[in-house]
Amino acid sequence: MKYHLTAIIEREDDGYVALCPELDIASQGDSIGQARENLREALELFFETASPKEVKFRLHGEIYITHLEVGAA
């Protein structure tokens, strides 16, 4: 089975953090590409070891990413 998942990658200090919001799984790396590949590896490991019940419980069906404008004092 193949899943099409979201990867949100952001810079943190000297590296990058990658998050898959559908499963709430994160990883990191020294570059964007490395963070992305490390997240892919973490997700593959999750699917290899998790029971179908755990996958169903953790998998969020719909994720929306958008920008917000917020005023701050």
Give the model confidence (pLDDT) of 6-45 as tens digits: 999 999 999 999 999 999 999 999 999 999 999 999 999 9
pLDDT at 61 over 80: no
- The H or E element spanning position 17 is strand 15-20
Residue 70 — very low, low, confident or very high, per pLDDT cuts 50/70/90? Answer: very high
2 located within any domain: no
33 located within any domain: yes
72 located within any domain: no
| DSSP assignment of 23-58 | TTEEEEESSHHHHHHHHHHHHHHHHHHS-HHHHHHH
The answer to whether 17 touches 1, Cβ cutoff 8 Å, is no
3 located within any domain: no
What residues make up the domain containing 16? Answer: 8-58
pLDDT at 3 over 80: yes
65 located within any domain: no
68 located within any domain: no
52 located within any domain: yes
Domain count across the chain: 1
pTM of the model: 0.86
